[in-house]
C-alpha cells in the first residue's frame, strides 16, 4: 500500500522547502550586491497599503503660503499666540453609565486642566454657553451606546470647529499589564501623519487641548497617529536611561 502522510506533516515540509528557497535567493542577492554594488542589485522594498496608494492631491506641504496664512488666522490661532494653559470641560451624553464615566476620568489623567461636568439632561447649547462664560477653551463630549462609550465630540470654543470621532477600540489603564502611574507634569505631544488640509485642522484641535510648554522631567508623552483615517491615541511614560 502507498505510504500516506498526515496533512499537517506535509504542510510543514512544504513550508520548510519554501523557506530554504527564500534563504538561497537572499544569499544569492547578497553575493551579487557585494560583487557588483548596491545599484546593480537594489534592496527590495516590501509593498504596503500606504506605499501602493496614489499621491493624495489634498496633502499640504510646509512651504504652502496659502495654507500657512489660513492657519495663522484660523479659529485656533489664539491658542498658539498665547501661553495660557487650556481649560477643558469633559462631559457625557445624558444619563451616562459607568464605563463612560471611567473614560472621562482617563481623559483627566491625560489632559491637564480638565474639569468633569455631570451633564444630566442639560441641553448641549446651554452647556456650550456656560462653558464660554466660565472661560473654557474646549469641550469633550463622550457619547455612549448600550452602556459603553462609542464616540467623542471635540468642540473648540468659542467659535469652533467641532469634530466627531468614533471609538473603534478602547483599553483602560487598569486593563494594561504593568501600567505606570500618570503624573501632573505637562506632557510632550507627538502628532504624526496629519498631512491633508483637514488633517492639519484636526491636529491643531488636538494641540489646543494641551499646554504649549511640556515638562520633560515628567517623561510623559501623548501620541496621536493618523493612519488610513484612523487616529491612534497613546499615553505613556518613557524611561530616562543613561548608557555608559
- Mean pLDDT, residues 69-81 taken together: 83
Residue 161 host element (H or E): none
Average pLDDT taken over every residue of the chain: 86
Q: How far apart are CA 76 and CA 158, in angstroms?
A: 10
**Residue 107 in domain:** yes
Half-sphere exposure of 8 (CA within 13 A, CB side): 0
Distance, CA of 90 to chain centre: 19
**Residue 197 in domain:** yes
> Tell me, what CATH number does 125's domain have?
3.40.50.10480
What residues have CB less than 8 Å from 142, skipping those under 6 apart?
90, 91, 92, 93, 96, 100, 103, 104, 107, 149, 151, 152
What letter would DSSP give residue 158? T
Q: What is the pLDDT of residues 119-163, one digit of tens each?
A: 888 999 999 999 999 999 999 999 999 999 999 999 999 998 999
**Residue 19 in domain:** no
**Residue 21 in domain:** no
**Residue 81 in domain:** yes
**Residue 32 in domain:** no
Per-residue model confidence (pLDDT) at position 1: 47
pTM comes to 0.76
Is-contact 128 155, C-beta < 8 A? yes
**Residue 33 in domain:** no
Tell me the pLDDT band of 92, cut-offs 50, 70 and 90.
very high
**Residue 38 in domain:** no
Alpha-carbon dihedral angle through residues 220, 226, 227, 232, given to the nearest 10 degrees: 40
Question: How many domains does one find in the chain?
Answer: 1
What domain range is 231 assigned to? 65-237
Amino acid at each position: 500500500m502507498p505510504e500516506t502522510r498526515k496533512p499537517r506533516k506535509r504542510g510543514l515540509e512544504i513550508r520548510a522547502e519554501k523557506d530554504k528557497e527564500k534563504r538561497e535567493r537572499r544569499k544569492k542577492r547578497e553575493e551579487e550586491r557585494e560583487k557588483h554594488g548596491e545599484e546593480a542589485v537594489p534592496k527590495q522594498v516590501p509593498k504596503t497599503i500606504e506605499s501602493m496608494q496614489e499621491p493624495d492631491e489634498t496633502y499640504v506641504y510646509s512651504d504652502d503660503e496659502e495654507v500657512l496664512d489660513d492657519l495663522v488666522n484660523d479659529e485656533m490661532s489664539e491658542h498658539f499666540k498665547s501661553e495660557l494653559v487650556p481649560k477643558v470641560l469633559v462631559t457625557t451624553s445624558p444619563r451616562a453609565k459607568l464605563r463612560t464615566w471611567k473614560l472621562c476620568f482617563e481623559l483627566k489623567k491625560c489632559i491637564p486642566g480638565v474639569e468633569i461636568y455631570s451633564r444630566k439632561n442639560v441641553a448641549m447649547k446651554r452647556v456650550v454657553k456656560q462653558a464660554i462664560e466660565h472661560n473654557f477653551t474646549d469641550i469633550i463630549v463622550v457619547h455612549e451606546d448600550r452602556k459603553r462609550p462609542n464616540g467623542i465630540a471635540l468642540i473648540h470654543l468659542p467659535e469652533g470647529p467641532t469634530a466627531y470621532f468614533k471609538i473603534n477600540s478602547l483599553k483602560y489603564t487598569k486593563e494594561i499589564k504593568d501600567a505606570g502611574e500618570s503624573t501632573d507634569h505637562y506632557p510632550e505631544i507627538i502628532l504624526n501623519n496629519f498631512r491633508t488640509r483637514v488633517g492639519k485642522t484636526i491636529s491643531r484641535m488636538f494641540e489646543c487641548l494641551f499646554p504649549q510648554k511640556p515638562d520633560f522631567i515628567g517623561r510623559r508623552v501623548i501620541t496621536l497617529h493618523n493612519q488610513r483615517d484612523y487616529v491612534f491615541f497613546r499615553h505613556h511614560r518613557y524611561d530616562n536611561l543613561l548608557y555608559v
